[in-house]
Structure 1
Amino acid sequence: MIRVLHTADWHLGQRLAGHERTEEHRAFLTWLCQTICDQKIDLLVIAGDIFDTGFPSNTALKLYYDFLREVKDTCCQEVVVIGGNHDSVSTLNAPAEFLRHYKVHVVGGAPENAADQVLLISSALGEPQLVVCAVPFLRDKDVRLSVPGETSEEREARLKQGICDHYSQFSPLVDDYKKQGIPVLATGHLFAAGSSASDSEKEIHVGNLGQITGDQFPTCFDYVALGHLHRPQVVNKLPHIRYSGSPIPLSFSENTDRKQVVVLEFADGKLASIQDLPVPCWRKLVRFKGTLDEILPKILAYDNIEFPHPAWAEVQLQYEHNLHEHTAKLHEAFAANTCVHLLIHRHQRTISDQSLDQQITQDQDLADLKPKEVFLKRCEEALGNAGYDELVSTFDELLELMPQQDEEIRQTANVSVS
């Protein structure tokens, strides 16, 4: 028997609206080490997108290497890491030879020889327990040859066929293991047709290019551990082909998603059980949507007592006019409730753009309005939904300078007269 934990899409080093996620990632990795011990995990599989960019920060790299060091002090015997579309092949592969001595197998990109992706996982006594076909994110050069003049449909078909062919080549390579009753696990970092993406996931290929269906994976695979999609899900109702999802919400579109890892148990040469294990949430992402009167009470009443870090909020403000005044009240509400911080402010005008004359009611006269009121109405007329906070700040500075300039002009005039 062998117990496996499947996780993916850590995106170490990710920033959300300029804010780092280091503390959340550190909390997850600490929890993961403890979970490996509690669940008696023998093999850890990380299905791509370890980092958020191809050039991770020193902080992100330290999180990664500190975790690999700590996990080797647990019951986990071996680790398999594959590259995702966000990962740099060279960054992941650079320490691969060194890490192999600690039974950490890294496949950052597809090697020329498919056999180099076939890993035999053995017990502490040296008994073969599982075969892993460690397939990373497949780039165009890995799966097809360029054909001048091909149409988009032909390119799509060739790309899909190239991915299918890449997986098919493992069938003869694992045939002897299957005959010995050794189960086979494959990895992948791709978009499987019929799956649901979130806002934070970039399409790997243009449009639907690269999509394959669950039944196109070879039947010799007892389980397919996928990465790339951040929502945990089964592919085409095939429970042995699934995405583990990301361990923390990486965008506000994931604020209601459950986060999890997948625990597998193989026994008697086959997959015996699959368990979805919830990942705790350390920072809540929340959305407030509606008019100012609808949003303000919710912001002031928001309670974040269950979570160790203040919540981050995205506000979708619906307004008719006076956006600057609405924004000021919005910031006052967040200042009054320190357990939730405003990260993203989107505004949506609920009436069509109006001219300056249309914005002035019949009982108003342009001469009766203060200069700033006229300026704000003019901004709304000219810019609509576009943000203009910097323009307003500059206008405020000009208002402050004007009295000073008037005084200087008066003093100059007096000197001239005298």
Structure 2
Amino acid sequence: MRILHTSDWHLGQRLVNLERTEEHQHFLDWLLQTIAQEQVEVLLISGDVFDNGAPSNTALKQYYNFLTKVCATCCRHIIITGGNHDSISTLNAPKELLDCFNIKVVGGATANPLDELLELQDAQGNLQLVVCAVPFLRDRDVRLSVPGETTAEREARIKQGIAAHYQAFVPHLQPYKKQAIPVVAMGHLFAAGGTASESEKEIHVGNLGQIGAEQFPEEFDYVALGHLHRPQQVNNRHHIRYSGSPIPLSFSEVTDKKVVFILDFEEGKLANLRELEIPASRKLVRFKGSLEKVKQQVIVFDNSPYCFPAWAEIQVELENPLPDLNQQLEEVLALQPELQLLIHRPPVIKSAKQTLEQQVAAIDLHTLGEKDVFLKRCESAFPDSDHSELVATFAELMELMEQEELNS
């Protein structure tokens, strides 16, 4: 049996208010071709199908158009689980209808974890695969609120709750293991040892919900994870993987290779696991350095391998302020019609005085309180502004957080 593992599509996502519809469509078209070429029988989508809980009509249309087309391929089973960005009700709304087309949707956790245990048959009705389709587990799914508990106690309870959810499947998996039926688990969470990028939201405060690779039961022959946008193994476990997002969702992912995983099971075991690189349709690029260096990088930039114009983030390092900086950048960017400036970060002024102040600040940072650190950050980002209102708001926020911690 051949399986394709993907996740974190984030349909409807915008980057600085620009839509990613064309890039997502390019990926979905490629995925359809790949399913046909690779003769994929099972498609696993491990959460964050949409970028938010109220997806646009365009995003919904992309989603349903894809599902319609994939049903006409060799793929017999599609399993979709909800992520922390997804609305449970939005994903689950057409659940019964999609079930008629062998599309299983598990938008959120249910009272009975066995609702997430799915048996997949081949064309002759023989059992071929068991999937524990675990969606993103919210706090209410894995722990009961305990008055007065500390942050450390809350962290321990979340970890225990997530691990217990997976352990609950184990007694029900033994009959399948005896028949050499492979078992695959899905999940949308932060696993300890994973590497995040700027575009992931913390799914529990401070990512308290992260669990270790050893907390996934050994009965799982493969664990198909979502949430982290960089493809990776968890703690070097070959069979526990994040597939990552299919397109770069932030400029922190400009160097990441985007992939899907293809799994082959033979005689109840994972016989082969390989990655297929997703062809990029748009380049996100960062230019940073002196003005002359940035200008040269822009001039020599080659966008020929890509379908759509590139989006750039630029930050210039200067010895002294330059009044016509924006004009100079506009002039050089005009020479590159296939390059669009998306983010222009404030220039870094590298004067000897500032360098010394930064060194002193770095040395003294560990002695400062939260309010002092916040004030210094304000002074660095907005040197000519009055920070009193921001500092007062920050102090109010700190007080509210302390009260919530005491009352939670």
Under TM normalisation by the shorter chain, which class is it? 0.7 to 0.9
CA deviations 1:257-306 (Å, max 9, x no partner) are: 00000000111011111011110000011010011111111112211111
Relative distance call for 1:301 and 1:169 in structure 2 (3 A) is same
Distance change in 2, residues 1:352/1:58 (3 Å): farther
Q: Secondary structure at the match of 2:345?
A: strand
> Distance in 2 between the 1:308 and 1:117 partners?
39
Could you list the structure 1 runs, at least 4 aligned residues long, displaced by more than 3 angstroms after superposition: 320-324, 382-388
Equivalent pair of 2:44/2:80 in contact (CA under 8 Å): yes
- The residue number in structure 2 matching 1:227 is 226
What is the CA–CA distance in structure 2 between the aligned matches of 1:255 and 1:152, rounded to whole Å? 35
Tell me the equivalent position of 1:20: 19
Cα deviation, residue 186, structure 1? 0.3
Distance (Å, rounded) in 2 between the aligned partners of 1:12 and 1:353: 47
Check the 8 A contact 2:232/2:241 in 1, yes or no: yes
Cα contact 2:284–2:312 (8 A) shared by 1? yes
Q: Distance in 2 between matches of 1:179 and 1:193?
A: 31
Asked which structure has the greater CA Rg, the reply is: 1
- Give the aligned residue type for 2:265: F
How big is the shift at 1:339? 1.2
CA distance in 1: counterparts of 2:207 and 2:286, whole angstroms = 29
**Which residue number in structure 2 is paired with residue 377 of structure 1?**
none
Distance 1:214 1:248 in 2: 26
- 1:38 matches 2:37: yes
Q: Match for 2:135: what amino acid?
A: P
| TM-superposition CA deviations, 1:132-187 (whole Å, max 9, x none) | 00000000000000000001111100110000000000001222111111110000
Q: CA RMSD in A?
A: 1.6
In structure 2, the residue matched to 1:405 is none
Q: 1 CA distance for matches of 2:260 and 2:86?
A: 20
Cα displacement string for residues 171-227 of structure 1 (whole angstroms, at most 9, x for unaligned residues): 012221111111100000000001100011111111140010101100110000000
Question: What's 1:272 paired with?
Answer: 271
Bigger mean CA offset, 329-338 vs 247-256: 329-338
Cα distance between partner residues in 2 of 1:387 and 1:242: 44
Task: Provide the rounded CA distance (Å) in 2 between the counterparts of 1:202 and 1:170.
Answer: 28
Q: 1:140: which partner in 2?
A: 139
Q: Which letter does structure 1 place at the counterpart of 2:285?
A: V
Task: State the Cα distance separating 1:385 from its structure 2 match.
Answer: 5.2
The CA distance in 2 between the partners of 1:386 and 1:277, in whole Å, is 45
Aligned length: 360
> What does residue 116 of structure 2 align with?
117
The answer on whether the counterparts of 1:260 and 1:279 sit within 8 Å (CA) in structure 2 is yes
Provide Cα deviations, 1:59-108, integer angstroms capped at 9, x if missing partner: 00000000000000100001000000000000000000110000000000
By how many angstroms is 1:114 displaced? 0.9
Deviates more, 1:317-326 or 1:278-287: 317-326
Alpha-carbon spacing, 1:387–1:275, altered in 2? closer, same or farther (3 Å): farther
Give, as a single letter, the amino acid of the residue that structure 2 aligns with 1:16: L
Match of 2:396 in 1: none
Residue matched to 2:307 = 308
Q: CA deviation at 1:319?
A: 2.0
Structure-2 change in CA distance of 1:387 and 1:279 (3 Å): farther
Shift of 1:322: 3.6
Aligned-residue offset at 1:321: 3.5
The secondary structure found in structure 1 opposite 2:240 is strand
The structure-2 alpha-carbon separation of the partners of 1:150 and 1:384, relative to structure 1 and needing over 3 Å to count, comes to closer
Aligned to 2:53: 54
State how far apart, in whole Å, the 1-side matches of 2:109 and 2:214 are: 22
Q: Which sits farther off after the overlay, 35-44 or 342-351?
A: 342-351
Question: Which consecutive residues of structure 2, in runs of 5 or more, have no partner in the other structure?
Answer: 355-377, 385-408
CA contact (8 A) 2:321 2:349 kept: no
Letter in 1 for 2:125: G
- Distance (Å, rounded) in 1 between the aligned partners of 2:38 and 2:331: 46
Q: Which residue of 1 aligns with 2:325?
A: 326
Q: How does 1:103-182 map to 2 (within 5 A)?
A: 103-182=102-181
Say yes or no: does 1:96 pair with 2:103. Answer: no
Q: TM-score, normalised by structure 2?
A: 0.86
Counterpart amino acid of residue 92 in structure 2: N
Unmatched segments (≥5 aa) in structure 1: 355-381, 389-418
